[in-house]
Structure 1
């Protein structure tokens, strides 16, 4: 029976019990033990398998584990390691991805729930003869829900701040073994708090919770923490001299999160879709973790799912659709002309040289546009193509999926900013039926220089006139069309069948004026030649004749040519 694709599966034991396809990452356990620190922090972008990896660690180390879960997997070949470590430790495992709220009080309630539910897994402590009466009472404080019918945990703030340390003490005393602590997505509460306005309170809470559990905890064997950002300037990890940090730029644990080329090829072959490897690579590969090229696993699984239904399925923006992409929008909103030029280079497939800081605070995000470059790298919107020095890197957009995301955000940004000045747009639109070519050209030039366009090298010449997310005129065409569409009393068609072909933009006004607009990309920079070709196409394909059949009293033909941020407009009547 063919294995199911693990769409959204984050619990390791389900791969065995549910017959899911598993990309074997169990050798991460051996690499972790060989490079172990007392507290180990791994930073990776979202949707790269952090939560599944943490659950795998829990299933491997926890006392009472089912060793058969690892039968046939790579780690099972490390017999001495398995004998020494498998099923030998009490494990506390929490994920903070659900710690959210409209205010600090709601977020604290969510955190109590996360800790309380984990503590409930160890109810055998209530009967443990290894614990004193006082220690039994300490455990009861962790799981107490009072008279609530909704299982709302009632632990006080003081109890919550020491909860992980207390639970470590109780488990260590019961088993006579030190505890392994796993904390997944540690920075999500900080991100949510930053967005909702209670950041300072959450920083203090997380700092104290972690300080108690990680810094002054004699019952800790070791801890593993995951997140997107390394937040140490906030003193979240104050005094942790034992912190062992592994980021996306480090040269080890390269392939522990995400899929390698060989793993993707093997998955596609298993499902009989090996012909899709080139498309998969173009759209979802390109992340560089410590010098190794990595695919986003969420995208690979989702696209393979689509391919199983339809061999000709188009790739989609799966990773980007899992969040609001506020980071890119914030970045574009803050961009000055120099930064816009750098964004253009990236969209065109180029690289930019930047100094990267991996120890930022959320408070730092809005203080400098340069900090946002670092965050875009850490969160997966950019990747490293070359190491210049310890802190300087060449950055680029990793693949077609993220490139599409940037272009989409750029178009939305332009639409919002350009339409903000209604009087200016009205003046622009009014110039078309009047035949004011100079005004149209001047205003288009101003819009181009005030916005983000796409450089000449982004796509092949034969694609540059296609209104398509991957084509240059996705911005040019979209810009002109978006501005004109502000006239709600005009009938406006894009890529409409007209005469003997499809015109770029055609307009019918209430006073029976027909307007045909053809756009050309001047690949050689000759804008005049591009405009002439546009008008020639209008005549050759009889766009105006087709418009005349709609009983327009007057027809105006415009040819527009673009190259980078330059443009030219000509008219024929």
Structure 2
């Protein structure tokens, strides 16, 4: 009897996935695409399978693993379609998430970690490197100096280096969020150690017939690369290439096959159509090229869902895996300066109100220009908070890809208001009020509560002028609990109310009430009782029409 394949949630090592009977979604057909250019840079959101892809490349190109090729790549596309470069490189691998981001320890940690990896590389491939280089490189104290010696010594040699760097910007991003621009600048500019390291890589990549023959770097943002290389002239940014759209993440077909497999072996016992609908609404929707139409699922989210269902013999209660959340602290510096919300915050509100935004994507930009509108929108895209969704007026249009990201965006708005002292609510009380809306039909208490808080916390009034802004405000706080699937008019379809609150029956099957909400805005200086009566009358007529439409 065949053993049931393990669900490789949280496992990023290709060798381990293959050796330990884990389910693997084949991505080896993208190897020929990777080989089209020697020095590549790929940006994808967190938890999207970057490490597994990189370690797959490691296993494929490592000349020391040539005798294991058939075993490691059994049942993959590349087994029957190997390229000429198969198992022909010495692999130098770094994962910069292993560097301690503490500002007082980061340089020492970086030096120690890189030196350990380089020394391991020298031992692993000692028979391909002359003794003088081995001795000289081992005596150097800085990793950049070690690399420089190795690159030079391998000039013209038969065996070259393939450099793989995973999460190149991990500790740099943490330093930005914790310590701000000044400390980050010291790291990436002038004589910063990180900048010097990349200067050596640039030199190695540009040296004719040098030891560094190929390079593949992954991260979540182009900012640090732009800063340490003065405009990313170290290689080819393939992040927006149509042919790389499916390199990371799962397609709809992949997800269907995963469900079919675990159903066939008897450990997944739930309806496939319902399961796919849930996963599509919460985990799907990512498109990484304006020329592609294939939507990708977040790898981590899908595996999390399957693992939770597998272990609990039930569909998961919490559909959002904590590991995919981008902490508000890592975004706070982007939307607030001191205790003031900046223009980026307004862009975030605009996206939530409209469901998306028109913008071009900027491939590379420095941290200093992050407040430029297109740069900020681009960063939201790279972080996975926005996705390509067609075009409008000849320009790319970006929308929020799924419910998980929508919930995260709502939380960012709430946290921003709270952290700058503009507005905060009793979360437990509001949770209770919204639950009563779903189960007892008591909706008046919500509006009484919100109105009371606005009257007490008057600063918020400056942030909720205009009908769309009021709509965003309500969306932000209605989603403090997931008892409703909350849709805007655009999401529900033209001809519906401003807000549609559908009970989230998947998690709350006994919920009894849903709502149509029509919002009307009257500015303080134009308010009259007659105008209020007129607006209420118009709303009642519209809601009656929407209700009849839903009934049919």
Tell me the TM-score normalised to structure 1 length: 0.67
Flag the 1:240–1:289 CA change in 2: closer, same or farther, 3 A. Answer: closer
Is residue 183 of structure 2 the alignment partner of residue 198 of structure 1? yes
**Residue of structure 1 in register with 2:41 after alignment:** 41
Give, in whole Å, the separation in 2 of the partners of 1:130 and 1:262: 45
> In 2, distance between residues paired with 1:169 and 1:78?
33
Match of 1:162 in 2: 145
SS in 1 for 2:316: coil
What's the CA shift string for 1:537-558, capped at 9, x where partnerless?
A: xxxxxxxxxxxxxxxxxxxxxx
Alpha carbons of structure 1 residues 42 and 127: separation in structure 2 relative to 1, 3 Å: closer
C-alpha distance in structure 2 between counterparts of 1:353 and 1:440, whole Å? 34
TM-fit CA distance, 1:163: 2.5
1:73 — aligned with what? 76
8 Å CA contact 1:96–1:189 kept in 2: the answer is yes
Identify if the C-alpha distance between structure 1 residues 385 and 319 changes in structure 2 by more than 3 Å, giving closer, same or farther: farther
Distance 1:226 1:389 in 2: 32
Aligned-residue offset at 1:267: 0.9
Task: Give CA deviations for 1:242-265 in whole Å, capped at 9, x if unaligned.
Answer: 621112x33221100111111111
Tell me if structure 2 keeps the 8 A contact 1:260–1:295: yes
> For the Cα contact (< 8 Å) 1:287–1:295, is it kept in 2?
yes
CA distance in 2, matches of 1:120, 1:22: 31
- Paired with 2:308 and 2:323, the residues of 1 have a C-alpha distance of 17
User: What are the residue-to-residue correspondences of 1:124-203 with 2, within 5 Å?
Assistant: 124=123, 128=127, 131-133=130-132, 135-141=133-139, 155=141, 159-169=142-152, 176-195=158-177, 196=179, 197-203=182-188
2:223 maps to which of 227, 231, 234: 231
CA deviations on 1:480-524 (whole Å, 9 max, x unpaired) are xxxxxxxxxxxxxxxxxxxxxx9x9xxxxxxxxxxxxxx997437
Distance in 1 between the 2:236 and 2:185 partners? 25
Number of aligned residues: 449
Classify 1:271/1:160 alpha carbon distance in 2 versus 1 (closer, same or farther; 3 Å): same
Checking the alignment, whether the CA contact within 8 Å between 2:328 and 2:415 is kept in structure 1 is no
How far did residue 351 of structure 1 move?
Answer: 2.0
Pick from 7, 10, 31: which aligns with 2:9?
7
Within 1, Cα distance between the matches of 2:323 and 2:393?
Answer: 30
Answering whether residue 213 of structure 2 is matched by residue 209 of structure 1, we say no
Aligned position for 1:120? 119
User: Paired residue for 2:416?
Assistant: 413
Post-superposition CA distance 1:275-322 (Å, at most 9, x none) = 410000000001111123111101110011112223332352226655
Shift of 1:350: 2.1
Q: Distance in 2 between matches of 1:467 and 1:229?
A: 31
Which structure 2 residues correspond to residues 324-343 of structure 1 after superposition, within 5 A?
Answer: 324-333=327-336, 343=348
Alpha-carbon shift at residue 211 of structure 1 (Å): 2.2
Say if 1:466 and 1:94 are closer, same or farther in 2 by CA, change over 3 A. Answer: closer
C-alpha distance after superposition, 1:185-233 (max 9, x if no partner): 1122322332335212321323321222232441121111111122378
> Which residue of structure 2 aligns with residue 50 of structure 1?
50
- For residues 57 and 466 of structure 1, the distance between their equivalents in structure 2, rounded to whole angstroms, comes to 42
The normalised TM-score by structure 2 is: 0.70
Corresponding residue for 1:149?
Answer: none
Compared CA separation, residues 389 and 374, structure 1 to 2 (3 A): farther
Deviations 1:127-161 (A, max 9, x none): 7596244x23223225xxxxxxxxxxxx2xxx322
Instruction: Write the mapping of 1:295-444 to structure 2, written as runs, cut at 5 A.
Output: 295-308=297-310, 309-318=312-321, 321-333=324-336, 343-344=348-349, 346-347=351-352, 350-365=355-370, 367-368=371-372, 371-387=375-391, 392-417=395-420
What's 1:100 paired with? 100
Q: CA deviation at 1:168?
A: 4.0
In the TM superposition, residue 179 of structure 1 has moved relative to its aligned partner by: 1.3
- Structure 1 partner of 2:256: 265
Deviation at 1:357, TM superposition (A): 2.5
Contact 1:187 1:227 in 2 (8 A): yes
The gaps in structure 2 that reach 5 residues or longer are 426-444, 488-510, 523-528, 534-539, 543-552
Distance 1:207 1:62 in 2: 28
Q: What corresponds to 1:545 in structure 2?
A: none
- Asked whether the 8 Å contact 1:455–1:472 carries over to 2, the reply is no
Larger relative contact order (Cα-Cα within 8 Å, sequence gap ≥ 6): 2
Equivalent residues of 1:41, 1:246 under 8 A apart = yes
Distance 1:198 1:455, change over 3 A: closer
Give RMSD over aligned pairs. 4.2
Q: How far apart, in 2, do the equivalents of 1:370 and 1:389 lie?
A: 16
Aligned positions of 1:240-251 closer than 5 A: 243-247=235-239, 249-251=240-242
Give secondary structure in 1 for the equivalent of 2:138: helix
Q: Give unpaired runs (5+ residues) of structure 1.
A: 143-154, 423-431, 474-501, 505-518, 533-560, 564-573
Per the alignment, in what secondary structure is the counterpart of residue 244 of structure 2?
Answer: coil
1:255 and 2:255 matched: no
Structure richer in helix, relative to its length: 2
**For residue 220 of structure 1, what is the aligned residue in structure 2?**
212
| Residue 368 of structure 1: how far off its partner (Å) | 4.4
Aligned equivalents of 2:451, 2:12: Cα separation in 1: 60
Task: Give the secondary structure class of the aligned counterpart of 2:303.
Answer: helix
Residue 420 to residue 254, structure 1, CA distance change in 2 (3 Å): closer
CA contact (8 A) 1:24 1:73 kept: yes
- 1:523 is aligned, of 506, 518, 523, to 518
1:325/1:229 CA distance change after superposition, 3 Å:
same
2:423–2:460: 8 Å Cα contact kept in structure 1? no
Look up the match of 2:550.
none
For the 8 Å contact 1:284–1:296, the answer to whether it is kept is yes
Change (3 A) 1:167 1:319: farther
Structure with larger Rg: 1
Counterpart contact for 1:90–1:171, Cα < 8 Å = no
